[in-house]
């Protein structure tokens, strides 16, 4: 693999792993917790957000020399809102059931901090191609994060995965998982798991006395 | 079904609390809730923006519906909210520079607070009249402030206790939010 390809790959992987919007940066929490009662909702939300993210980042990057610095945030928001309106009508046309399940949260993609954050911190500074690759990575990372929550919550709270029953008729659903507190608990649980894993890895890599270092503040 | 304004207020404040039951406005909820003396002003500022946004959105929706321009709804709402936030920012900067600095980046970020846009969108979707919209935005704002203040109080106490290393930071906050949310489920049924 030559250097150019390696860099492109890095750009893509950044969103999936090192700067995962859900688990590492804790951005875009509202849709993350609100729509992840089932895996299919989570996946649709992830795809919709990724679409808006890629289109907005492309446009912001293309217009980066045109947009005056003073009104850039307002411009970004209008760009994002335009694409969200498109997505909103598209989902309504494709599947009304899905539209009802996601409700106002499709329109609330506008205020997803992941998108504005990417537009401001990344897309406004780089070339369109890099911006799109980075946005695709971020979108994929966001979708993976949503799926991680959606699958866990659907399996425990409903006994199904993508609507397919897993445990048979005798399964007693763990209802709290699909209720609001479940969302907080599952995401908290994932973060604990990652923190534990990172600590173990650090411990293996470092001498024992340096392992207990200060935590990263959120 | 016609809900009274009082019912809507109580429901938005407790049973359908914006933060703990509807997952709106989580970013400031996790970000500004570390200390009580910033949490409360943040709640009040957000409530004010919500009130302004809700009233403007109500008028705007009438206008857009009469012109059959519904597809512009989202874009116009967000512009209104951004202007309201700018207003709050200017007032705060003039009246209380200390508070302005303490809130920092989270003040302009009220624009991207889903609770504010959420108020405007939900009141449109539920076709609330003027009084109902007013009650909804006030209740939602009060509920947001309540959740923020509760969380900040818990987190201030938490600083004195011994939290295991891996649970420090966001993970602990989320588990706490889950417990608070569990408590708020006890209000289910009130106001509906």
Which position has the token pair 């500004």? B32
pLDDT tens digits along B89-128: 888 888 888 878 877 777 777 877 888 888 888 888 888 8
ipTM > 0.85 for the complex: no
Other beta carbons within 10 Å of A96: 10
Residue A178 included in any domain: yes
Which region among A162-166, B20-24, B57-61 has the lowest average model confidence (pLDDT)? A162-166
Q: By CA distance, what is B73's nearest residue in A?
A: A85
Per-residue pLDDT, averaged over A58-64, amounts to 91
- Please check the confidence at residue A209 and state whether its pLDDT lies above 70: no
User: A164 in helix, strand or coil?
Assistant: strand
Please enumerate in sequence order all residues whose Cβ is within 8 A of that of A150, keeping only pairs 6 or more positions apart, or say none.
A35, A36, A37, A38, A39, A40, A41, A42, A43
Q: Which domain holds residue B114?
A: 5-24+38-179
Q: Which of B122, B181, B186, B187 to mutate to test the interface with A (most CBs of A within 10 A)?
A: B181
Looking at residue A217, its pLDDT comes to 41
> What is the C-alpha separation between A106 and A92, in angstroms, rounded?
10
Is the Cβ pair B179, A181 closer than 8 Å?
Answer: yes
The domain total for chain B is: 1
Residues B139-186 have pLDDT tens digits of 999 999 999 999 999 888 888 888 777 777 778 888 888 898 888 888
Judge whether B30 lies within some domain.
Answer: no
Number of domains in chain A: 1
B71 belongs to a structural domain: yes
B170 in a structural domain: yes
Q: Where are the beta strands (DSSP E) in chain A?
A: 160-161, 164-165
The shortest CB-CB distance from A26 to any of B109, B116, B170 is to B170
Domain assignment present for residue B86? The answer is yes
pLDDT tens-digit readout, A78-106: 899 999 999 999 998 988 888 888 877 88
Is residue A16, in this structure, part of any structural domain at all?
Answer: yes
The answer to whether residue B184 sits within a structural domain is: no
Residue B113: closest CA among B67, B186, B47, B164:
B47
- Residue A217 lies inside a defined structural domain of this protein: no
CA dist., res. B34 & res. B99, Å (int):
15
Tell me the residue range of the domain where A97 lies: 3-207
Cα(A71)–Cα(B119) distance, rounded to whole angstroms? Answer: 25
What is the overall mean pLDDT for chain A? 82
Q: Which residue has the higher pLDDT, A196 or A24?
A: A196
Chain B: residue nearest A195 by CA? B166
For A108, the closest of B30, B121, B170 (CB atoms) is B121
Task: Answer whether B177 sits within 8 Å of A104, measured CB to CB.
Answer: no
For A95-127, where are the alpha helices, taking DSSP H only?
96-102, 113-118
Confidence class of residue A143 from pLDDT cuts 50, 70 and 90?
A: very high
* Number of residues written out for chain B: 192
Q: How far apart are alpha carbons B43 and B52 in whole angstroms?
A: 14
Is A218 among the domain residues?
Answer: no
Is residue A1 scored above 80 in pLDDT? Answer: no
Domain assignment of residue A215, yes or no: no
HSE toward the beta carbon, residue A57, CA cutoff 13 A: 30
Average pLDDT over residues A120-135: 87
């Amino acid at each position: 693999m030559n250097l150019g390809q390696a860099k492109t790959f890095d750009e893509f992987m950044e969103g999936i792993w090192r700067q995962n919007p859900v688990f590492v940066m804790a951005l875009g929490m509202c849709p993350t917790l609100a729509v992840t009662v089932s895996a299919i909702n989570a996946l649709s939300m992830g795809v919709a957000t990724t679409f808006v993210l890629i289109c907005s980042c492309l446009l912001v990057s293309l217009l980066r020399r045109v947009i005056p610095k003073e009104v850039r945030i307002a411009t970004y928001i209008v760009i994002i809102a335009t694409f969200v309106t498109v997505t909103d009508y598209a989902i309504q046309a494709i599947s009304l059931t899905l539209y009802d399940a996601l409700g106002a949260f499709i329109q609330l993609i506008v205020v997803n901090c992941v998108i504005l954050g990417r537009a401001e911190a990344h897309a406004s500074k780089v070339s369109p191609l890099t911006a799109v690759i980075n946005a695709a990575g971020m979108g994929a990372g966001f979708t993976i994060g949503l799926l991680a929550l959606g699958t866990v919550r659907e399996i425990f709270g409903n006994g199904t995965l993508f609507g397919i029953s897993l445990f048979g008729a005798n399964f007693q659903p763990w209802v709290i998982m699909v209720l609001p507190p479940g969302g907080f608990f599952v995401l908290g649980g994932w973060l604990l798991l990652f923190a534990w894993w990172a600590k173990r890895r650090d411990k293996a890599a470092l001498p024992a006395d340096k392992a207990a270092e200060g935590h990263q503040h959120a | 079904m016609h809900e009274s304004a009082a019912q809507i207020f109580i429901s938005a404040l407790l049973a359908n609390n914006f933060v703990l039951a509807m997952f709106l406005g989580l970013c400031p909820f996790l970000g500004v809730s570390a200390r009580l003396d910033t949490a409360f002003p943040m709640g009040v500022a957000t409530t004010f923006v919500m009130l302004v946004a809700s009233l403007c959105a109500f008028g705007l929706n009438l206008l857009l519906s009469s012109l059959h321009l519904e597809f512009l709804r989202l874009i116009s709402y967000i512009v209104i909210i951004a202007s309201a936030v700018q207003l709050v920012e200017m007032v705060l900067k003039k009246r209380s520079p200390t508070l302005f600095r303490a809130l920092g980046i989270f003040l302009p970020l009220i624009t991207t607070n889903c609770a504010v846009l959420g108020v405007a969108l939900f009141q449109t979707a539920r076709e609330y009249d003027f009084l109902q919209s007013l009650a909804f935005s006030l209740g939602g704002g009060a509920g947001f402030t309540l959740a923020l203040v509760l969380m900040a109080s818990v987190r201030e106490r938490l600083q004195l206790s011994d939290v295991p290393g891996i649970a420090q930071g966001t993970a602990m906050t989320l588990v706490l939010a889950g417990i608070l949310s569990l408590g708020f489920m006890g209000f289910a049924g009130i106001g509906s």
